[in-house]
Structure 1
């Protein structure tokens, strides 16, 4: 019996309620599949956005550390130049840094399974604790190296958060520029400003800037201006 005739024969054997049920199932199956795929896509976007929220939450105390640690570094130069005044003591600043580390540790323990940051955070915090324990044994030059190591570890942790929280993968153009500024450009600007300020303080301890120091300031200033132009261009392109 031909397939077409077989199909007609089977349909003729069904009652009208059975035919309606069969037709309904034939329509419901693709509709169910499309609905499932649609809901899966929505859930995927929700999960993507939620990880971005977690990433921003993790980055907030890191931003504070980027601000406080260079300030603590500058305070060391007060020992050699009394004219370098500061409105807060090293103890107060270290207390703020420790409070930020505690907040960061709480966030890390809560989000570690999502962002996979525990290893890098532990390394950063261990470096900070070692610094506190042995800071009286080091020269000013050693201080500078250790401060830079701390900032490097902060940047590595920040990069890790950006990668695992999907912030660096933001598919929307508007928010991509925002994430680019948050994760890359603004932290780099913050570091450059700190380097310029630190270099200026070092120069103030001597009779004047050397040719190498002047070249460093020019290079840092040029890079700072370039980042500022990039930010302005990215912002202007979205208006």
Structure 2
């Protein structure tokens, strides 16, 4: 547990320089653009998801440029703990972004109809699942190849999600009955989705640990 805490602290210190006023202004600007296009704070919160995804890659970038990864082994921190710590940090990062989204939603909901708390929670939960899925596909690549080599490859993750979304829309009519069942059993749907995503995350962690352990620095 202490090693994981060290990794989380080191990851925070490594990306802290990226938490600048400039980046905050950019985030707010993007949020406003989405908000005025959709007039929906919940849709605008997708910028928070983007914020989390971008910053979740920075520990790999800094670690590669500054040689931090090799220091972990010098300090006797096992590769498996490094991997687990980085996944934990990614989750903490999303929670931090979620807190920001709560502030934004509270402020901008004053200009539209009141945001339903259940809708906000379900939307945030959906964003969390998407975030964990993307992380689960990207992180093994980063642990195997490093940030720079894996950056272009990890772009395939977004392509895969785009293709999957296209397939779902293309067969929307055929899947209509399934969507109705899911809508009528929302709690069961959320539970199954959560368990499926957690299984993917677990597999991703195990794969990352194996790849990172065999990587040469």
- TM tier, shorter chain? 0.3 to 0.5
Q: Higher Cα Rg: structure 1 or 2? A: 1
What TM-score, normalized by structure 2, do the two folds share?
0.37
Instruction: Choose between structure 1 and 2 for higher RCO, CA contacts under 8 A separated by at least 6 residues.
Output: 2
What TM-score, normalized by structure 1, do the two folds share?
0.34
